[in-house]
Amino acid sequence: MADIRNNFVGIKSPNPFWLASAPPTDKAYNVIRAFKAGWGGVVWKTLGEEGPPVVNVNGPRYGAIWGADRRLLGLNNIELITDRDLQVNLREIKQVKKDWPDRAIVVSLMVPCVEESWKAILPVVEETEADGIELNFGCPHGMSERGMGAAVGQVPEYIEMVVRWCKANTRMPVITKLTPNITDVRKPARAALAGGTDAVSLINTINSITGVDLDSFAPQPTIDGKGSHGGYCGPAVKPIAMNMVAEIARDPETHGLPISGIGGITTWRDAAEFMALGAGNVQVCTAVMTYGFKIVQEMIAGLENWMDEKGHASLDDIVGRATPNVTDWQYLNLNYVAKARIDQDACIKCGRCHIACEDTSHQAITSMVDGKRHFEVIEAECVGCNLCVNVCPVENCITMEPLAAGAMDQRTGKPVSPIYANWTTHPNNPMAKVAAE
Amino acid sequence: MPEGQFKEGIAGGRLQADQYADNFSDLHPPLDHHEALVESDRCYFCYDAPCMNACPTSIDIPLFIRQISTGNPIGSAKTIFDQNILGGMCARVCPTETLCEEVCVREVAEGKPVQIGRLQRYATDVAMGENKQFYQRATATGKTVAVVGAGPAGLAAAHRLARHGHDVTILEARPKAGGLNEYGIAAYKSVDNFAQAEVDYVTAIGGIDIQNGKALGRDYQLSDLMRNYDAVFLGMGLGGVNALRADGEDADGVTNAVEFIAELRQASDLASLPVGRRVVVIGGGMTAIDAAVQSKLLGAEEVTICYRRGQEQMNASGFEQDLAAANGVTIRHWLQPKRVIAEGGKVSAIELEYTAMNGEQLAGTGERLTLVADQVFKAIGQSFVPAALNGSGAEIELEAGRIKVDAEGRTSLAKVWAGGDCIFGGDDLTVSAVAQGRDAAESIHRSLAQG
C-alpha cells in the first residue's frame, strides 16, 4: 500500500490534502468536521490584528459560472479575512490542535505592513502550538485596498521584507502565499525565498467579475446594484495555477523551494498533477465548498490506488517528476512530427473535427468521401495541431500519432529527421547559434 | 353482471373518473427550463447535421438547440418556424425515433439521442405561450388562392401564401380545422386542445379565411375553384378506409380505427366513450397502435393487435410498439382476418388465419385462430377517394390512386397544386405534409409573381 503521509517543511500530516485558508476553515466547528472526514490539515482562515473585527458585506459574497447542468466551474468571492474576534480564533486553534495532534494546523495571517504588527501577532499564534503560519499576500479584494493582501504580494520588495520580519520573530515555519495577479510569478517567489521563507503556496484567487446582469447592467455578485472584482477559484483556474507552480519549481533561483499547490483541485488526479509539477502537498477550497468535506475520501483512495498501480511507494516518488519536462518553447523538438488519426470505428460522424479544421485551421479533414459522410485526415495538410482531438466529443477517437524517424511527412515531402533540433539552431532563427565549423 | 372494467360488450365508464385524466395526460411531458438547458447541452452542433437532413422540413436543428442552450428560446422558435410553421405539433407527433433522433450522432454513439422533439416543443411552447408572431404579410398582391383542406399541408401552404401577400381561402369539410392533427392523433400526444391553438397561431398572420363544412365535390367543384381563384392547393388527405375483406365485417362492433380516434379526440367526457371489453385491432401502423393503446386507456380489459406480417414489417415505429406493449396491448404477428363472428348482429369473436411468406407472396397457412372480441377496429390503411375531384370537367392525373405531382407540387392541371397524404409519394407524416404544403406555396408564389 502506498504511503501518502506528508511532511511539508517539517509539518506532518497523514495525507497531503489540506484545506486552504478560506470560509471552510474559519472556525473550530468546520475544522473538526473536516478532520473527522479525513482531511490531513487545514490552513486556518486568515487572522488579522487585534482590534475591532473586519466586517463583510451583507449581500452576496460569491458569484459563479456553471456548465449546462449547473456544474460549478468557477467561483468568485468578495469575502474578507475572518470577521471573528482574534482571541476566539486563537482559543479554538489551540483546542483543535490539542484534540487533533496528528493533523496539520497552519494559521494564515494578514496584518498591516509594519513590523510591529507582525511582532505582535506572531507570539500569540505561536502560543496556540499551531504547526506554522501562512502569510496571506494574495487576497485580491478589500484588504488589498488597505495596503494588505495582494497589495503586498504584488511588490516583491514588500514580500521579502515581511517574510524577513516573520522569520526573525517566530520559530514557526513560514509559508508565503502568492497572488497570481502579477505578470511573472517567479519574482515574488524569489523575493519570498530571499526573505527566508520556508515555502510558498499558490495560487491565491484571480481578480474577476463572474457575470453581468443584463437587466440592471450590474456586475455579479451584486451588492445593491454595484459589484466589485472578487477572487476567482475552482476548476476553471487549475491550468493557470499549475503553470505558476511549474514556473517556480523549474526556476533555477527557486528550484527546490517547497510549494503547497492550490487552484481548482477537486480530485485525486488534480492533486497528483500539481504534485508531479513540484507541489509538496495541496490545498483545497472550492471543491469542498461545492461538495462538502467527504470528497477527501475519494482523493485519498484515488491517490493511493494510482500510486499502487504505478508502483510509487511514497509521495517523494511523485513530487516534481513532471518538472524537468516543463521547458521553454524554444527547446521543443521541431523535428517531432505527429499526425491526427481518426478511428473510424469510434467515429460517430458529428463532423466537428472537419468544420473546426476547415473553418479555422488547415483544411486537413474530409467531410465526404465517395459521396459518403466520412471524416478522415488528409495527411498532406495536417500540421498535427491537435485541435480536432480537442473538439472531438469521443475520447480517444482522434489521436495524435508521431511519425517514426525516416517516415515521409506528406505535408513537407521530407522524411522525418531522427535528430532533435529546436528553434535555437533553426535556420529561420536570425539569432540561431550556428555550430562552429 | 360484471361492472366497471369488466362490463361485457361495448360500454363506457369502465374506469374511475379520475383515471381518465391520468391515462390521457401528456405522453411526453414538456421539459422544464433546466431540463431543456441540460438536454440542449447534449447536442454536439454537428457539421452538416444528420438530424437536419433527416427532417422532411429541414429545420436547422443544431441551431435551434444552440439557441435554447444560450437562453434564447424565442430565437430558437423562429429557427423552427422558418422551416415548419407547425413545428409545435410536429414536436409532439413526429416519429422522431425514425427521423431526426434516429440519425442523431448520440444515438449512434450511445443509443441515447438528443431529445430533439422535446426540445422543439420547449422552444415552440415558449413562443406560442407568448403569442410571439414572427412573420408579417408582404404587401397585398391581390391574388387569391383556394386551399382544400385545413390539415397540416393546407395550413402550411396557407401560411406561406399569406406571408407572400396572397389572400387565402381554406375550404374544410369538417367542423374544425387541423385535419389529422385535430381528428387523427392519439389524445395523449396533443393535450389541452393544442391543435386548435396551433390553427389560431398559424392564422394569426392574417389573410387566411377558413370556411368549415365545405366539402369538395359536395358543396363545390374543383372547376369552381379554378374559375374563381388564381391558384388552387389540394390538401384534402385520405377519405377512404381499406376494408378487412373478411366475411361479416359489417357486424355491429366493427369500427374504423380512424373514426374511433377522431371520436375520442372530440369527446368532452371520455367516460362516456364506449369501448369493448375485449378489443382486436387489425393493422400494423400508427393508427393501429393509437386505437389499441387508447382502447386500453379507456379501460378495455384485453386488447390485441393482429398484423398479417412480421414485426420488422410493421409501419409503427419501435417506440410505438413499445408504447403499446407498456400499456398492456398484445401484438400478434402473421395473422390475417378471415371472418367476423357475430351473435345477434354484434361481434363476438374474430377468426384469423396464420400467414407465412411463400416466396415473395404472403399466403395463409390454413391454420385458424379465433379470438373472443366484442369490438374490432380496422386499421389497415386509408385510401384516397378521387371521386370528389370528379365533376370538375378536367381530369386530374393520378398515380397509384393518389394525385400525381411534380417536385414542386404541381398537378397535371394548370393552376392546381397538391400536397399531403392525397398525393402520390406522401408518407402519412404531418411533417412531410407541412413540407409539401410549404414548398407548393413557394411554387404557387413564383407562378403568381410571373403573372
Asked if B69 is an interface residue toward chain A (Cβ–Cβ < 8 A), one would say yes
Q: Over 60: is that where the pLDDT of A409 sits?
A: yes
* pTM assigned to the model: 0.91
Nearest C-alpha of chain A: how many angstroms from B61?
13
Same domain, A290 and A350: no
Same domain, A157 and A68: yes
pLDDT, tens digit (0-9, with 9 covering 90-100), for A317-337: 999 999 999 999 999 999 999
Measuring CA to CA, which residue among B305, B301, B271, B298 is closest to residue B7? B301
For B241-382, CATH number out of 3.40.50.300, 3.30.930.10, 3.50.50.60, 3.40.50.1370 equals 3.50.50.60
pLDDT of residue B1: 62
Is the CB of B105 less than 8 angstroms away from the CB of A70?
A: no
- B44: nearest CA in chain A? A350
pLDDT of residue A22: 97
- B66: nearest CA in chain A? A68
Question: Is domain B144-238+388-449 annotated with CATH 3.30.450.20?
Answer: no
Sequence letter at residue B265: R
Strand residue runs (E) in B277-374 = 278-282, 302-306, 330-332, 335-343, 346-358, 361-372
Option in B38, B40, B108 nearest A349 (CB): B108
Instruction: Give the total number of structural domains in chain A.
Output: 2
Q: Over 60: is that where the pLDDT of A170 sits?
A: yes
Measuring CA to CA, which residue among A347, A344, A387, A343 is closest to residue A364? A387
Share of chain A above pLDDT 90, in %: 94
Widest CA span of chain A, in angstroms?
Answer: 80
Listed by start position, the domains of chain B span: 33-129, 144-238+388-449, 241-382
Q: Over 70: is that where the pLDDT of A436 sits?
A: no
- The C-alpha cell of A9 is what? 517543511
* A436 found inside a domain: no
Is the CB of B48 less than 8 angstroms away from the CB of A367?
A: yes
CB B62 within 8 A of CB B43: yes
- The C-alpha cell of B325 is what? 406493449
- The C-alpha cell of A45 is what? 482562515
pLDDT, tens digit (0-9, with 9 covering 90-100), for A345-387: 999 999 999 999 999 999 999 999 999 999 999 999 999 999 9
* A149 found inside a domain: yes
Mean predicted confidence (pLDDT) in A413-431: 95
Task: Tell me if B144-238+388-449 shares its fold with B241-382.
Answer: yes
d(CA A306, CA A269): 9
Chain A hits for B44, Cβ within 8 Å:
350, 352, 393
pLDDT of residue B131: 95
Domain boundary at A325, A343, A360, which?
A325
pLDDT of residue A144: 84
A73-77, A86-90, A140-144, A225-229: segment of lowest average pLDDT: A140-144
pLDDT of residue A137: 93
A283 Cβ partners below 8 Å, 6+ apart?
A18, A19, A20, A21, A43, A201, A260, A261, A262, A265
Is the CB of A352 less than 8 angstroms away from the CB of B48?
A: no
Residue range of the domain that includes A341: 329-425
B33-129 CATH: 1.10.1060.10
pLDDT, tens digit (0-9, with 9 covering 90-100), for A27-66: 999 999 999 999 999 999 999 999 998 999 999 999 999 9
pLDDT interval class at A244 (50, 70, 90):
very high
Same domain, A346 and A303: no
Asked if A67 is an interface residue toward chain B (Cβ–Cβ < 8 A), one would say yes
Q: For chains A and B, what is the number of CB pairs under 8 angstroms?
A: 39
* A203 found inside a domain: yes
Q: Over 70: is that where the pLDDT of A435 sits?
A: no
Q: Which residues of chain B are modeled with pLDDT < 70?
A: 1, 391-393
Which CATH number do you get for residue A145?
A: 3.20.20.70
Same domain, A120 and A215: yes
Nearest C-alpha of chain A: how many angstroms from B93?
26
Option in A68, A350, A367 nearest B105 (CB): A350
Mean of the per-residue pLDDT values for chain A?
Answer: 96
pLDDT of residue A434: 64
- Which one from A113, A139, A353, A392 is the annotated catalytic residue? A139
CB A359 within 8 A of CB A391: no
Domain boundary at A294, A325, A356, which?
A325
pLDDT of residue B61: 98
Asked if A352 is an interface residue toward chain B (Cβ–Cβ < 8 A), one would say yes
d(CA A134, CA B176): 78
- B49: nearest CA in chain A? A350
pLDDT of residue B424: 93
Catalytic residue flag (residue A139): yes
Chain B hits for A394, Cβ within 8 Å:
109
Chain A hits for B50, Cβ within 8 Å:
349, 373
Asked if A70 is an interface residue toward chain B (Cβ–Cβ < 8 A), one would say yes
Is the model more confident about A67 or about A131? Answer: A131
Measuring CA to CA, which residue among A231, A247, A240 is closest to residue A265? A240
Asked if A425 is an interface residue toward chain B (Cβ–Cβ < 8 A), one would say no
Same domain, A321 and A337: no
- B43: nearest CA in chain A? A350
Domain boundary at A295, A325, A355, which?
A325
